[in-house]
Amino acid sequence: MADTFQPVAPRPAPVRTEGFVPWVKRNLFADWKNGLTTVLLVALALALLPGLVHWGLTQAVFPANAEACQAARGSGACWGVIAEKWRVIIFGRYPFEQQWRPEIATVLMVAALMASCVRWFWKPWLALMWAAVLAVFFGLMGGGVLGLEPVRTDLWGGLPLTVMLAALSIFLAFPLSVLVALGRRSKLPAIRTVCVVYIELIRGVPLISVLFMASFMFPLFMPQGMTIDVLVRVLVGITLFAAAYMAEIVRGGLQAIPKGQLEAADTLGLSYWQTQRKIVLPQALAMVVPSMMNNFISIFKDTSLVTIVSLYELTGALSLALNSDVEWRPFKIEAYLFITAIYFSFCFAMSRYSLWVEKQVSVAKTR
């Protein structure tokens, strides 16, 4: 007797795993705990949203009118303080008629930073581009060349000072931290001791103390008649402070490299520096990208501490702008929200770039 044909039951359609709805189910309503948390947070947001909209939009004062802001005080935001004081907040005490110079200098610096993050620009001439950008930046900010009026460094401030201190301290601290991390793992006791003392000494004091000593104590030990600009001293202090923390991050990556790779490099006859440059450091630095970027973000925010030595960066410029004006002094919340948005923009951009670098590293490992 011939076998009777039995059709196979149709299989269910594949579950959709991409798109907005699957993402919501997977991340916000994966189980009853996640679902309950999501519902509570949405309810809290809906409860607070009307009040925030009322304060920040419907009852807010946007023109630079101090009387209108005083009348709306307590019920609506005064965004007019930003319209009135944005120049002082962004440029600090820099001469008003010359503020086009720090504006151009900051745009150039930010453009160079963005270009340095693009793979296409990772060429030998990138260093030459940075040398030109720094020359133009300091030429515009300091003046004294091409007929530009000289401006003392103690008058530099606001966003240009914040960006410059953060960028240069990161660029200077990174190679120094690599050398210190290698020195701490050195087999030579003298080099290892110097690196350990440097790291532990710097990490044992707050940045404010380092800036104070660099600005007020260090000049006391200089020969009579010899002075170093306060901006240079502050930059050196931030660089040394950042390098100590970054060195420990790099050392963590170095310790994660299997010992067998070092032994294999010795077998191939590679020198110490060839081993570090071609085998150890590429892997070690790739492992510590998240921690390193976290330290970069911390350095960017720590520049706000230079106010203690009378350099008014973004946060200090805000205090300078409001504390000297009785009419606008009560509206610090709106002004701080303004610079918070600036800080967040830079830090969020660095965070997203870190994620991109991590993804590129993961792709490179799978090849």
Torsion on CA atoms 354, 357, 361, 367, rounded to nearest 10: 150
Angle between helical axes of 125-142 and 100-116 (0-180°, round to 10) = 160
User: What count of residues does the chain have?
Assistant: 367
| Cα(173)–Cα(54) distance, integer angstroms | 46
Residues of the chain with pLDDT under 50: none
Domains and CATH numbers, the chain: 156-366 (1.10.3720.10)
| Structure tokens given for 33 | 């705990």
| Structure tokens given for 111 | 């453009």
Alpha-carbon distance values, 52 to 41, 45, 46, 334, 340 (Å):
16, 10, 10, 13, 17
SS3 assignment, position 22:
helix
Q: Are 211 and 306 in contact (CB under 8 A)?
A: yes
| pLDDT of the residue at 2 | 58
| pLDDT of the residue at 1 | 53
Torsion on CA atoms 185, 242, 346, 121, rounded to nearest 10: -50
Among candidates 87, 86, 92, which has minimal Cα distance to 231?
92
Instruction: Tell me the three-class secondary structure of 215-278, residue by residue.
Output: HHHHHHHCCCCCCCCHHHHHHHHHHHHHHHHHHHHHHHHHHCCCHHHHHHHHHCCCCHHHHHHH
| pLDDT of the residue at 330 | 87
| pLDDT of the residue at 365 | 67
Q: Are 334 and 79 in contact (CB under 8 A)?
A: yes
| pLDDT of the residue at 361 | 79
Alpha-carbon distance values, 300 to 160, 231, 243, 294 (Å):
12, 16, 14, 10
| pLDDT of the residue at 283 | 86
Find the farthest-apart pair of alpha carbons in the chain and give their distance in angstroms, rounded.
115
Each residue's pLDDT tens digit, 332-348: 888 999 999 999 999 99
Q: Quote the pTM value.
A: 0.85
